[in-house]
A and B are shown apart, each in its own frame.
Chain A
């Protein structure tokens, strides 16, 4: 600990002693003129030779320090008109700029939310940014624009299966993604068993995904960061937007509370499949409930040039009810309170208070077998993030992130006195997590840019809690529990810590190409104990404790980046290798849900992944989009599983191709196209069959897990967007979106089940259909389930 503080102050001294000349700082905010939304990543460049520049941070703030003199400063952001100002710098200067959206000429219609030459210029590799406009232009399943699914179209990012929202980034599993909504952790980002994500596109401003080279300010997950920024709300005028879709409807209202000082945004979304259920005459159907909803709200207030606060929140729920017999519900709640403070022209502080909780519950009411089950996971956190714009060539970021975790895995209560179920609860677990970081970005010369970061994190599993002591010391199913040690509130049960160095280097070969390299080490102190590939709301998160050690990962990547034709085309290629330690897997027949000593149900092993990602992007012009190809492998090796030998992870896919295109025919008509191809997932198929206890049972080779392959997956989607005619005084704008998912109706297998087929009919069920016809034949077979054939959908969207 002391070492790290010494190191931090050393770096400070080194950088701060450099200034000698008379220098002054220009700082301020860059915003969008029509709405007052902060522009993230806009560039501010002075006409020095070579040019010096700065980029706005997540709040639109920039700071640029230059020697005394006369300058021409240009403020630019792709899709917006550039503004140039001549200044005479002989004192510190505040310049707030509002950029107008560029005229809707065909060449410039796409707002990418980034700098033109970011691909080559930016320090980050393995980073993807998608603006919400781009996401909305992509065809979507049931027409539901989905932030998370659009990320799956990027190289190196995979889904668990058709239609699902879990992300598998460079061989990491779905619990290794840090999903942030306005900096608050979202533990389960899915609705409806993962087919939709919880982010209402109307509330989202920007999505950034880090697959590697993660800056030191992020910590707590191994593989990726999905950083989602919510809109701030229009601070100029009151406006609204919304849509009526096949699955859900949405409505957003935003506007100034006090013009240019304070604004708000509220947005809501709800599905209505269940409203149709209610119309049914059959009480077995009409008594069922099946819906989800989301609610996002955000407000901000600017006290002065130096202080601004933001408050935002998310609340969403999924509800399934089958009559009164069975009910399941789950949801997330997040709250973020932020205070931006500008100490001086160079030092910016964002202080954040965060709360996040995920809970699920279900109830079964079947005569005396009745009970309600509740589980909850929550965290309270505080963050301080400083940015120090030392000079145009040096930026320092440093800060602290503290989290208190509460895990409450199960509480079971009988519904009434007749229940045979006892009330019971699993022990809660508590933990404190702390991260400290320093990120040092230095432009060594025009070619070389270095970002060196160090994060130190620790995690303490604290009482109250019990630890079981096993015979022989090591937990196992066979070992007897010989003692139980109780810890009191706040007492340390287990402590882990680690350094997480991060390094990013960019070397520019010329103005249109660069080479980048990155290394990162990441620690993860909590993970999901699950035996399914895809995430479910009932997944149990477990913290590192006396027996379960934290995950750690190392990743190296190198890449070549090149832009063509005045940044119209962007080419990127990356090679990566990632190693993961202490990846857990469940032992066969593991009891995850009701075990207080879950350590005996798990085995910890390692994993590794490597791959090549190629992408060609077109950013400008009537046609935009990208083509990407990924060649990758992912392996696991866990004692007690597959004979302890390495085996491919279930989501190991060797080839992955995606094509995303958007073409604007005119200002009113545009078209989107998605095509995906991926080689089949690794899977275990039986190597034989036998009969036991009157059952036909597939026989598996337990020493060769996932040694077979599912058939290849491919799919083509199209969408057509029709905008209403633009008239200068028209308040109400609208557009129709028609989309077709899986245009050529490929029956992509979601699963292949090994079971018997009766009467040569896959749908014949001898139990249910026994009355409607005799069973005359039965044979072992393999049956494919596919989810979606061709799915057309339409939505109507409006803005006022």
Chain B
């Protein structure tokens, strides 16, 4: 629901984004900042905890490498999880490692004299009953094709936060418009006929993953999407870094970039066939 406003903003953007051209600006470089990215789920691992550093804006290579960082992942009941730094800044959990529902995990990163920490709880599995495929003719915002319709439930009594990730033939839809995020605050318990915004063709293999997120993680992704859609213009809010759920314990005013996600996930895979 909240995203419908983004929808409006995007439409406004389309109406006015008549002419564009590239400009090269003389940008100032800030001090490199650490980027922490970790997604620990109930699927069998290895799961990756990735560290990096920001670069100059126009720098084309990826994040700069983080060396000599210490990373710990702590399971509340069972203690520390062994991590293996396979490349500098890339820390892997053991093969087959799975997060457990109800368990609380804490991530601790020490780098350059700063201590970063985040905690998350694995929430119960989302409820997905079925996915139905139907053909749809062309519509204003959608091409013609086979669409997936999601049926499930969302337990009431508290607000739940979800993210869906959709793969077409093992390729993740991963554009800024592909963040399928939702909270169920204004939604009924039975979710039926929820359309996934992708047209598929006969023979496509579709994989849908549904994650149950902690609120701070969800807020992070919302902030990330808002920033990715921020066109820097007068209809956009002032651009700010997404609010991370990772704290800088040493210096609270200097939070890191990135997120720590621990979540349960359910997966549905199907092949698009003739109706």
Given B54, B230, B253, which contacts A643 in the complex, CB threshold below 8 Å? Answer: B253
Smallest distance from the beta carbon of A680 to chain B beta carbons, Å?
Answer: 11
Q: Decide: B240 and A699 in contact? CB cutoff 8 A.
A: no
Q: How far is the CA of A691 from the CA of B235 in the complex (A)?
A: 25
Q: Decide: B35 and A690 in contact? CB cutoff 8 A.
A: yes
| Chain A, Cβ-Cβ closest to B151 | A368
| Chain A, Cβ-Cβ closest to B187 | A420
Q: How far is the CA of A508 from the CA of B46 in the complex (A)?
A: 84
Q: Decide: A589 and B23 in contact? CB cutoff 8 A.
A: no
Q: How far is the CA of A785 from the CA of B191 in the complex (A)?
A: 40
Chain A residues with CB under 8 Å of B192's CB are 368, 418, 420
Chain B residues with CB under 8 Å of A532's CB are 234-237
Would you mind naming 23 contact pairs between A and B with Cβ atoms under 8 Å apart?
A161-B233, A287-B140, A362-B8, A367-B149, A412-B186, A420-B188, A420-B193, A420-B194, A533-B235, A536-B12, A589-B243, A687-B29, A688-B55, A689-B56, A690-B35, A690-B52, A695-B176, A751-B236, A762-B22, A784-B22, A785-B18, A785-B233, A786-B21
Given contacts A686-B27, A699-B57, 6 further A-B pairs with CB under 8 A are A532-B237, A691-B35, A751-B231, A779-B58, A780-B60, A783-B20
Q: Decide: B58 and A422 in contact? CB cutoff 8 A.
A: no
Contact with B along A694-737 (1 / 0, CB 8 A): 11011111110110100100000000000000000000000000
Q: How far is the CA of A287 from the CA of B17 in the complex (A)?
A: 21
Chain A residues with CB under 8 Å of B231's CB are 751, 753, 785
Judge if A792 is at the interface, Cβ distance under 8 Å.
Answer: no
Q: How far is the CA of A688 from the CA of B139 in the complex (A)?
A: 39
Judge if A582 is at the interface, Cβ distance under 8 Å.
Answer: no
Q: Decide: B174 and A705 in contact? CB cutoff 8 A.
A: no
Q: Decide: B52 and A694 in contact? CB cutoff 8 A.
A: no
Q: Decide: A369 and B194 in contact? CB cutoff 8 A.
A: yes
Judge if A325 is at the interface, Cβ distance under 8 Å.
Answer: yes
Chain A residues with CB under 8 Å of B193's CB are 367-368, 418, 420
Q: How far is the CA of A752 from the CA of B26 in the complex (A)?
A: 13
| Chain A, Cβ-Cβ closest to B240 | A588
Judge if B251 is at the interface, Cβ distance under 8 Å.
Answer: no
Question: Which stretch, B84-92, B112-120, B205-213, B217-225, touches the partner chain A?
Answer: B217-225
Q: Decide: A588 and B12 in contact? CB cutoff 8 A.
A: no
Size of chain A's interface in residues, with CB distance under 8 A?
Answer: 88
Given A687, A752, A783, which contacts B30 in the complex, CB threshold below 8 Å? Answer: A687
Chain B residues with CB under 8 Å of A667's CB are none
Chain B residues with CB under 8 Å of A687's CB are 27-30, 57
Contact with B along A420-434 (1 / 0, CB 8 A): 111010000000000
Which residues from 373 to 393 on chain A have a C-beta closer than 8 Å to any C-beta of chain B? 373
Chain A residues with CB under 8 Å of B185's CB are 594
Q: Decide: B186 and A421 in contact? CB cutoff 8 A.
A: yes
Judge if A747 is at the interface, Cβ distance under 8 Å.
Answer: yes
Chain B residues with CB under 8 Å of A369's CB are 194-195
Q: How far is the CA of A693 from the CA of B11 in the complex (A)?
A: 25
| Chain B, Cβ-Cβ closest to A590 | B237
B-binding residues in A (CB < 8 A): 160-161, 164, 193, 284, 287-288, 320, 322-323, 325-326, 328, 362, 364, 366-369, 371, 373, 412, 418, 420-422, 424, 531-534, 536, 538, 586, 588-589, 591, 593-594, 643, 650, 683-695, 697-703, 705-706, 708, 711, 747, 749-755, 757, 762-763, 766-767, 779-787, 789
Chain A residues with CB under 8 Å of B28's CB are 685, 687, 708
Q: How far is the CA of A421 from the CA of B52 in the complex (A)?
A: 41
Chain B CB count within 10 A is highest, among A284, A691, A703, A711, for A691
Q: Decide: B22 and A589 in contact? CB cutoff 8 A.
A: no
Which residues from 12 to 66 on chain B have a C-beta closer than 8 Å to any C-beta of chain A? 12, 15-25, 27-30, 32-33, 35, 37, 52-60, 62-63
A-binding residues in B (CB < 8 A): 1-2, 4-5, 7-8, 11-12, 15-25, 27-30, 32-33, 35, 37, 52-60, 62-63, 138-141, 149, 172, 174-177, 185-188, 190-195, 219, 221-224, 226-228, 230-243, 253, 257-259
Smallest distance from the beta carbon of A739 to chain B beta carbons, Å?
Answer: 19
Chain A residues with CB under 8 Å of B186's CB are 412, 421-422, 424, 594
Chain A residues with CB under 8 Å of B18's CB are 785-787
| Chain B, Cβ-Cβ closest to A371 | B1
Smallest distance from the beta carbon of A124 to chain B beta carbons, Å?
Answer: 31
Smallest distance from the beta carbon of B87 to chain A beta carbons, Å?
Answer: 15
Q: Decide: B234 and A688 in contact? CB cutoff 8 A.
A: no
Q: Decide: A692 and B191 in contact? CB cutoff 8 A.
A: no
Q: How far is the CA of A362 from the CA of B35 in the complex (A)?
A: 39
Q: How far is the CA of A534 from the CA of B237 in the complex (A)?
A: 10
Q: Decide: B54 and A689 in contact? CB cutoff 8 A.
A: yes
Q: Decide: A688 and B239 in contact? CB cutoff 8 A.
A: no
Q: Decide: B58 and A699 in contact? CB cutoff 8 A.
A: no
| Chain B, Cβ-Cβ closest to A530 | B237
Chain B residues with CB under 8 Å of A755's CB are 228
Q: How far is the CA of A692 from the CA of B262 in the complex (A)?
A: 16
Chain B residues with CB under 8 Å of A766's CB are 175
Q: How far is the CA of A782 from the CA of B22 in the complex (A)?
A: 6
Top 6 nearest A-B pairs (CB, nearest first) are A751-B233, A687-B30, A531-B237, A368-B193, A688-B54, A534-B234
Q: Decide: B55 and A690 in contact? CB cutoff 8 A.
A: yes
Given A326-B141, A782-B25, does the pair A692, B224 have CB atoms closer than 8 Å?
A: yes
Smallest distance from the beta carbon of B112 to chain A beta carbons, Å?
Answer: 16
Chain A residues with CB under 8 Å of B149's CB are 367-368
Q: How far is the CA of A784 from the CA of B18 in the complex (A)?
A: 11
| Chain B, Cβ-Cβ closest to A586 | B237
Given A367, A538, A691, A754, which contacts B63 in the complex, CB threshold below 8 Å? Answer: A691
Given B8, B139, B226, which contacts A328 in the complex, CB threshold below 8 Å? Answer: B8
Chain B CB count within 10 A is highest, among A328, A422, A697, for A697
Q: Decide: B224 and A695 in contact? CB cutoff 8 A.
A: yes
Q: Decide: A690 and B240 in contact? CB cutoff 8 A.
A: no
Q: How far is the CA of A688 from the CA of B22 in the complex (A)?
A: 18
Q: Decide: B195 and A698 in contact? CB cutoff 8 A.
A: no
| Chain A, Cβ-Cβ closest to B141 | A325
Given A193-B15, A532-B235, A751-B232, does the pair A588, B243 have CB atoms closer than 8 Å?
A: yes
Chain B residues with CB under 8 Å of A783's CB are 20-23
Q: Decide: B8 and A538 in contact? CB cutoff 8 A.
A: yes
| Chain B, Cβ-Cβ closest to A363 | B4
Chain A residues with CB under 8 Å of B19's CB are 747, 785-787, 789
Q: Decide: A589 and B175 in contact? CB cutoff 8 A.
A: no
Q: Decide: A694 and B174 in contact? CB cutoff 8 A.
A: yes
Q: Decide: B58 and A749 in contact? CB cutoff 8 A.
A: no
Q: Decide: A691 and B20 in contact? CB cutoff 8 A.
A: no
Given A325-B141, A698-B227, A767-B175, does the pair A650, B238 have CB atoms closer than 8 Å?
A: yes
